[in-house]
Each structure stands twice: as C-alpha cells, then as structure tokens.
Amino acid sequence: MKLLNLNITFEQYNGLQELNEQDTMLCQLSEQALSTSYSPYSKFRVGTAIRLQSGETVLGSNQENLAYPSGLCAERVALFTIGANYPNAVIESMAITAQTDNFEILKPVTSCGGCLQVMAEFERKQGLPIEVLFYCLNGEILKVQSVQSLLPFSFVEDRLAARV
C-alpha cells in the first residue's frame, strides 16, 4: 500500500476591489445573471458568467422544473450554451455566484460535482486551463487557476483500459 497526497492551490480575496478589472467584471456579470434564475422550488438563485478568448461573455442561471431532476444548474446552462452556439470557443474564465432570500450566504458557494465534471471535460477538450471564481456577494472570492484543482479525479476515458 502506498499513501499518496494531492495538493491544491486556490486564491482567496476579501472583495472585488482586490481582483483585476477583468475578474471584477466577470463577477459582476455573474451577479447580473441571478436575475434570470428560474428557481421557484429551491428559491436559491445561481448566476454564472463565462468569458471566452474572443472577449465575448456568456451568462447562465439555474433553471428549475416541477419535475425536479429535469432542472439544470447555472454552470451547465452556460457551458452547454457555449457548446451549442460557440463549439470552437476557448473558455478563459468563469465566475459563479448565488443568492437566496431565505438566509444570508456568508461564504462563496462552490459548484456541485456534476458541474465540476462538465467543466473538467470542457477544459480537457480545449487543452487550456479554465479559471474559476466563486464569488460571495458578501465579499469573499475563491479563485482557482484550473478546474483540475477542483476535481483532480474527474471521470476520464484514459483511465479505462481498452480491451483488444
């Protein structure tokens, strides 16, 4: 038996004033995206803004459904919008924020495993890292330089041995 260890590095900021201009703008756009959240069931709004290498920005928000599992997270709404409309685009960075009237959110809300898996595949497909910012409207921001830091053990086909 071998005991192995993985280290991840992430950045922590106290507020938008500590970010560079591009990241500040992306966080602000993720906040704007909250307004299109359709979340009558959870009453938990999630907004995402994704910056492409072309300079364009794509927004997403969570979209729920009375048949609960049919809804989709904000991150996947935005990522699949890019897949469908900008299939060759390179994603540079994405910002995610959340809001609810039911309680105060004190820390950045991080993405669910399903969204991380989808982000990981976009990153692998484009062969360039995607920066991810989790923005708490109260101020704190967490940033990673790559999805790899969030999901080092994503499901990838190169771990599946081909039978010949």
Q: Give the interface segment with ligand THU, choosing from 11-19, 26-34, 67-75, 129-137 (CB under 6 A).
A: 67-75
> For residue 99, what are the β-bridge partners?
45
Amino acid at 93: S
Strand (E) or helix (H) holding 82: helix 74-85
Cβ distance to ligand THU smaller for residue 18 or 112: 112
Task: Please list, in sequence order, all residues whose beta carbon lies within 8 angstroms of the beta carbon of residue 13, skipping any fewer than 6 positions away.
Answer: 19, 140, 141, 142, 143
Residue 92 backbone dihedrals phi, psi, to 5 degrees? -90, -45
Q: Which is nearer to ligand THU, 73 or 150 (CB)?
A: 73
- Choose, from 75, 92, 123, 131, the residue flagged as catalytic: 75
Q: Which is nearer to ligand THU, 99 or 146 (CB)?
A: 99
Q: Which of 44, 86, 124, 129 binds ligand THU (CB under 6 A)?
A: 44
Rounded distance, CA 75 to CA 119, Å? 8
131 near ligand THU (CB under 6 A): no
Residue 103 CB neighbours (<10 A): 7
Residues forming beta bridges with residue 143, ordered by sequence position? 11, 133
> What sign for the dihedral angle of Cα 82, 86, 90, 94?
negative
**104 is known as an active-site residue:** no
Nearer to ligand THU, 4 or 68 (CB): 68
The region of 70-78, 86-94, 127-135, 138-146 touching ligand THU under the rule CB under 6 A is 70-78
Q: Convert residues 134-163 into a mask of x (bound to ligand THU by CB under 6 A) and - (unbound).
A: ------------------------------
Q: Contact residues for ligand THU (CB under 6 A)? A: 39, 42, 44, 46, 62, 64, 71, 73-75, 111-112, 115
